[in-house]
């Protein structure tokens, strides 16, 4: 099992960023490449890049501003667990997306995908309303 992370700094308070991150049914608002998203209880199905990916929500922790989920189908992994967290950083926020995945060869795919998504999220907050 390999462990990796992506992170970005956003110049807005953590509570504002957390509202976007904690919405398990709202990742399509800020992650590029999602064609469709559906929710069934604690499971979400994302269609992107010709794949139909099923993810299971493990936990949302408002106190720690973190959400954890696992991919359960649709991607060639033996195991996957990811946590997105928001931390105060000066006058802004640091958003960290940590992942543990097997097989090890999949780690660079997830790290780059998550980094692109976080950079897109940061860009959304920097654009005028």
For the domain that residue 94 is a member of, what is the CATH number? 3.30.530.20
Per-residue pLDDT of the chain (129 residues; tens, 9 = 90+): 999 999 999 999 999 999 999 999 999 999 999 999 999 999 999 999 899 999 999 999 999 999 999 999 999 999 999 999 999 978 899 999 999 999 999 999 999 999 999 999 999 998 765
Q: Could you list the residue range(s) of the whole structural domain that residue 78 is in?
A: 2-126
CA distance 75 to 5: 19
The angle formed by the CA atoms of residues 81, 48 and 82, to the nearest 5 degrees, is: 10
Closest CA to 117 of 95, 91, 100, 101: 95
Tell me what pLDDT residue 128 has: 67
* pTM for this model (two decimals): 0.94
What does the H/E/C string look like for 3-17? EEEEEEEECCCHHHH
How many domains in the chain? 1
């Amino acid at each position: 099992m390999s462990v990796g992370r992506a992170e970005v700094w956003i110049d807005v308070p953590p509570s504002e960023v957390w509202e976007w991150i904690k919405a398990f049914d709202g990742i399509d608002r800020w992650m590029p490449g999602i064609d469709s998203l559906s929710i069934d209880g604690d499971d979400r199905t994302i269609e992107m890049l010709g794949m139909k990916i099923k993810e299971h929500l493990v936990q949302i922790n408002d106190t720690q501003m973190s959400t954890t989920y696992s991919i359960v189908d649709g991607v060639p992994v033996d195991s996957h667990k990811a946590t997105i967290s928001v931390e105060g950083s000066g006058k802004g926020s640091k958003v960290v997306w940590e992942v543990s995945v097997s097989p090890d060869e999949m780690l660079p795919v997830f790290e780059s995908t998550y980094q692109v998504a976080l950079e897109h999220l940061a860009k959304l907050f920097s654009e005028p309303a």
